[in-house]
Structure 1
């Protein structure tokens, strides 16, 4: 049982933390970016296409940064918090745009 716990803690947990943190960061960038571009006059479909193309490199960069960091749990938590705040800001901006 101890071997399974160490295997999970040492290999799977950092992977999941980095993956979730980077995913939330990419989601936040996409949400806030689309809302900001639409508010500035860009068509929705153009903003969506551009930022969904940008989401993969953002997610990949966040994942590699979080996975390579010494403090990977702290950095993954920071990425998730920033992504969540950006998502909330994007939703608020979207609520202001839509009648």
Structure 2
């Protein structure tokens, strides 16, 4: 059982949220952008490579923001909530696109 009153808990929470939540948010953003741009006729590999390069910068920015912010609840809500939401929406977009083919 974690000791939530320990001074190390906010630091561990911030590190976990920044690493894992930043990855999830970046993954969701990349997935939803790819799913939205493919039906517009843009080549898959062009979108994929461009978003993967941009995703590296986004992940770094989210990680640094996670280390700098003092509001842990917002960090968790934005990174995990936004990441899960974008990933689910990307899956729905991909399924609707595949059914339309």
Cα pair 1:66 1:76 within 8 Å, conserved:
no
Structure 1 stretches of 4+ with a deviation exceeding 2 A read 5-8, 10-13
CA RMSD in angstroms comes to 1.9
Count of matched residue positions in the alignment of Structure 1 and Structure 2: 96
Residue matched to 1:27:
27
1:67 aligns with 2:35: no
> Which segments of 5 or more consecutive residues in structure 2 lack a partner in the other structure?
none
Q: TM-score, normalised by structure 1?
A: 0.84
Cα pair 1:20 1:76 within 8 Å, conserved:
no
> Which segments of 5 or more consecutive residues in structure 1 lack a partner in the other structure?
none
Cα pair 1:14 1:73 within 8 Å, conserved:
no
Deviation at 1:63, TM superposition (A): 1.1
SS for the counterpart of 1:96 is helix
Residues 13-48 of structure 1, C-alpha deviations (whole Å, 9 max, x = no match): 321111112111100110001111101110111111
More off after superposition, 69-78 vs 56-65: 69-78
Residue matched to 2:18:
18
Residue matched to 2:96:
96
Residue matched to 2:49:
49
Deviation at 1:84, TM superposition (A): 0.9
Partner Cα distance (2:84, 2:11) in 1: 25
